[in-house]
């Protein structure tokens, strides 16, 4: 297969692995690094080049995807010991895919710019299966010239690219708005199903009704199908929406906005973390509310 181009991915967990597999299937040469060697080995078996450090992944690349969990990890893999920024080619671009605070995105972009490296603010949404088949959403904010220079890669990653604008940080802002609503929907779905259980209703039938009626939401249906089967194997760890709702409410406070539901959803996810559900899928909100 003809090689389309070479890209590096740092962080090949659920979403990063899906992105890597997608690119490999399209003929891209992919270099990967993760602190979990088993995840790197799984990607190597698919044809990716396994790298021992972030710096090794980034060496002389024109495009690097960062797909770690939070801002601290992002800064570490870019600017820490053996960080990627020290080996990236001049004029390269870093695509930031984690859900992080807009201010952190802006600060990282400013630090990269000092080294002549562009930033593509590109949070993602949709889950691992959609990352793998290219149907995940990408919310892209960057300079138009940077977008055009890396359009082939961006469009290889996703058939649902939303061009948010040129201001780096607006991708992060859009993702926080989306994830706050996702969290509200998920807590609402779990509450409704917990009520259905208490009322003695058949949960599968109830969910059948909801999926075809006014209470339907994608995340609610997706997570509650697994929850009523007792399947809490992590596809999206509970800690992710706990983090994202906290960041969303911090952004709301900074903007002088106060709504009735976001903080409540944040508090439910914080409670789930406090009660030891961190290693479970976020579908375990049902487990929390039905106990």
Which CATH number is 257's domain given? 1.10.1040.10
Find out whether 118 and 146 touch, Cβ atoms under 8 Å. Answer: yes
Do 155 and 219 lie in one domain? The reply is no
User: pLDDT value at position 25?
Assistant: 96
Report the SS3 class of residue 68: coil
Same domain for 119 and 80?
yes
Domain end marker among 137, 168, 199: 168
Residues 236 and 153 in one domain: no
Residue 139 lies in a domain: yes
User: What stretch of H or E contains 162?
Assistant: strand 160-165
What rounded mean pLDDT belongs to the chain? 96
- For the beta carbon of residue 54, count every other beta carbon within 10 angstroms: 30
Q: What is the pLDDT of residue 142?
A: 98
Domain boundary among 134, 168, 202: 168
User: Range of 263's domain?
Assistant: 173-290
162 and 177 fall within a common domain: no
Q: Are residues 54 and 69 in the same domain?
A: yes
Contact yes or no for 140/164 (Cβ under 8 A): yes
Question: Would residue 220 count as lying in a domain?
Answer: yes
DSSP 104-173: HHHHHHHHHHTTT-EEEE--EES-HHHHHHT-SEEEEES-HHHHHHTHHHHHHH-SEEEEEESSTTHHHH
Q: Which residues pair with 66 in a beta bridge?
A: 10, 96
Q: Which helix (H) or strand (E) holds 182?
A: helix 170-198
Q: What is the pTM of this model?
A: 0.93
pLDDT of residue 127: 86
67 and 135 belong to one structural domain: yes
Taking only the tens place, the pLDDT of each residue in 179-236 is 999 999 999 999 999 999 999 999 999 999 999 999 999 999 999 999 999 999 998 8
CATH number at residue 53: 3.40.50.720
pLDDT at residue 3 in the model: 67
Q: How far is the C-alpha of 75 from the C-alpha of 104, rounded, in Å?
A: 9
Catalytic residue numbers, as ranges: 175
Residues 164 and 210 occupy one common structural domain: no
Residue 33, domain member (yes or no): yes
Domain count, the chain: 2
Same structural domain for residues 206 and 80?
no
Is 11 within the bounds of a domain?
yes
pLDDT at 133 over 90: yes
Q: Which of 115, 144, 168 is the last residue before a domain boundary?
A: 168
Q: Indicate whether 2 pLDDT > 60.
A: no
158, 127 in Cβ contact below 8 A?
no
Say yes or no: 154 and 120 in one domain. yes
Domain identity same for 151 and 181? no
Burial class (CB in 10 A: 0-12, 13-18, 19+), 199: exposed
Mean pLDDT in residue range 76-86:
97
Using the structure block, give the residue that is written with the tokens 């058949």: 202
Residues 50 and 138 both lie in one domain: yes
**Residue 1 covered by a domain:** no
In a domain, 286, yes or no: yes
Residues 159 and 199 in one domain: no
């Amino acid at each position: 297969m003809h090689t389309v181009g070479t890209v590096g991915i740092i962080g090949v967990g659920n979403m990063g692995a899906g992105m890597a597999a997608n690119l490999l299937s399209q003929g891209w040469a992919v270099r990967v690094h993760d602190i979990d060697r088993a995840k790197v080995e799984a990607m190597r078996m698919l044809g990716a080049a396994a790298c021992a450090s972030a710096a090794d992944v980034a060496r002389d690349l024109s495009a690097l995807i960062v797909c770690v969990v939070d801002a601290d990890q992002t800064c570490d893999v870019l600017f820490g010991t053996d960080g990627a920024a020290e080996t990236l080619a001049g004029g390269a671009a870093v695509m930031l895919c984690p859900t992080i605070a807009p201010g952190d995105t802006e600060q990282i972009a400013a630090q990269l710019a000092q080294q002549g490296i562009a930033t593509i603010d590109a949070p993602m949404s949709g889950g691992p299966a959609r990352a793998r088949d290219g149907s995940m959403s990408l919310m892209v904010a960057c300079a138009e010239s940077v977008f055009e220079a890396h359009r082939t890669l961006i469009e290889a990653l996703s058939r649902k690219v939303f061009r948010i604008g040129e201001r780096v940080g607006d991708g992060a802002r859009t993702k926080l708005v989306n994830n706050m609503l996702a969290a509200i929907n998920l807590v609402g779905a779990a509450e409704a199903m917990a009520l259905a259980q208490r009322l003695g209703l058949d949960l599968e039938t109830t969910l059948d009704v909801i999926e075809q009626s006014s209470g339907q939401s994608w995340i609610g249906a997706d997570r509650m199908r697994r929850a009523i089967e007792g399947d809490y194997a992590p596809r999206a760890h509970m800690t992710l929406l706990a983090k994202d709702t906290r960041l969303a409410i911090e952004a709301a406070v900074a903007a002088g906005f106060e709504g009735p539901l976001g903080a409540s959803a944040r508090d439910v996810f914080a409670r789930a973390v406090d009660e030891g559900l961190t290693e479970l899928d976020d579908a375990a909100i049902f487990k929390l509310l039905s106990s």
